[in-house]
Amino acid sequence: QTVVTQEPSFSVSPGGTVTLTCGLSSGSVSTSYYPSWYQQTPGQAPRTLIYHTNTRSSGVPHRFSGSIVGSKAALTITGAQADDESTYYCVLYMGSGIWVFGGGTKVTVL
Amino acid sequence: VSLVESGGGLVQPGGSLRLSCSASGFTFGAYSMHWVRQAPGKGLECVSTIGLSETKTYYADSVKGRFTISRDNSKKTLDLQMSSLRPGDTAIYFCVRGTFGDTSPYYFDDWGQGTLVTVSS
């Protein structure tokens, strides 16, 4: 059973930088898993932020960036704003139509 | 791009329900499509994927044998037939557009607002 790991929560100050990670219970995350990131606020549908590791979706501010850091995929918010307060999900494509989401990271901006 | 789900509601355990998604604003037949669900207060789970034609379908283990995904490219609709429903299937079900040509990079592109399915007696 493949488990995708994310930090449960993070707190960042307005204007600060935070890096969220997306790992595998066993093994390393690589670009071959096509890591992507989604932002969700309560009561809303998820919004696509980053796909294919580091490609920003249309209309996504440049303060959001994706990368591989060590053995994990990472989402960095540089210059956090109040409306970045959300839950962020990563997902990895395992092949053969199998997708595994992480449990989500709740980001608080204060 | 617009994805509008319908068909959710309250159903008893063991019952059936059919969800539909009406798509517009893009060439529907050129994209893979997904159903992603979210149980109350929980995370996201991709329950089913369909390729450009109905010959390529995929299901999460949690729904395999109970759910059937289908699409009608002429009507630009995506369906999810759900049977033998369990309380654990209670969730918001999102219709999601996948990738063009069903090729890499693989990701979830555009999301509908979702439809709530409640399985309870």
Give me the amino acid identity at B116: L
Percent of chain A as helix, strand, coil, to the nearest 5:
5, 55, 40
Most distant pair of Cα atoms in chain A: their distance: 41
Task: Say yes or no for a CB contact (<8 Å) between A96 and B58.
Answer: yes
pLDDT in tens, B102-114: 788 899 999 999 9
Structure confidence at residue B58 (pLDDT): 95
Task: Say yes or no for a CB contact (<8 Å) between A99 and B105.
Answer: no
User: Closest Cα partner for B78 from B58, B63, B96?
Assistant: B96
User: Closest Cα partner for A64 from A95, A40, A38, A41?
Assistant: A38
Chain A partners of B44 at a C-beta cutoff of 8 Å? 38, 46, 89, 91, 101, 104
Query: Can you tell me the mean pLDDT for B15-19?
Result: 98
Confidence of residue B89 (pLDDT cuts 50, 70, 90): very high
Provide the 10 A C-beta neighbour count for residue B41.
6
Distance CA(B55)–CA(B58), nearest Å, equals 10
Confidence of residue B101 (pLDDT cuts 50, 70, 90): confident
pLDDT in tens, A17-76: 999 999 999 999 999 999 999 999 999 999 999 999 999 999 999 999 999 999 999 999
Distance CA(A50)–CA(A40), nearest Å, equals 13
Query: Can you tell me the mean pLDDT for A87-92?
Result: 98
